[in-house]
Amino acid sequence: DTGVSQDPRHKITKRGQNVTFRCDPISEHNRLYWYRQTLGQGPEFLTYFQNEAQLEKSRLLSDRFSAERPKGSFSTLEIQRTEQGDSAMYLCASSQGQARLSWYFGPGTRLTVT
């Protein structure tokens, strides 16, 4: 068990470009969550998956954002036509079962849009 991993750790992109982040959860975890954290704020929920099904999406997730978890294992978060306001830390977490008692967070991907 190597924990939740995210790739890349840092991404600098120019406004208008598309970016994609990857999250690999703990292997037996069936739930995967994406959060966004801007400077000076707590993490804000974006979306979550149970296996490959996307069960909830925040209103923060505009139509420029899309997340997938095609085989119920790793997940990708894509941002199209990036804006400077997208600059943030994107955190992934995973959990197992419905206990709602344990979430394990990855190290995050820091996105800077110039």
Q: Is 106 in the site for other proteins (CB under 8 A)?
A: yes
Residue 82 tokens, joined: 């990036």
Residues numbered 25 to 64 that lie near other proteins (CB under 8 A) are 31, 33, 40-45, 48, 55-56
Q: Which is nearer to other proteins, 58 or 66 (CB)?
A: 58
Shortest spacing between CB 3 and other proteins, in angstroms: 9
Instruction: Show Cβ contacts of residue 3 under 8 Å, excluding neighbours closer than 6 positions.
Output: 26, 104, 106
Q: Give the distance from CA 19 to its chain's centroid.
A: 12
DSSP for 17-61 reads --EEEEEE--TT--EEEEEEE-TTS--EEEEEEETTEEEEE-TTS
Q: Which is nearer to other proteins, 21 or 33 (CB)?
A: 33
Q: Which is nearer to other proteins, 74 or 105 (CB)?
A: 105
Shortest spacing between CB 61 and other proteins, in angstroms: 12
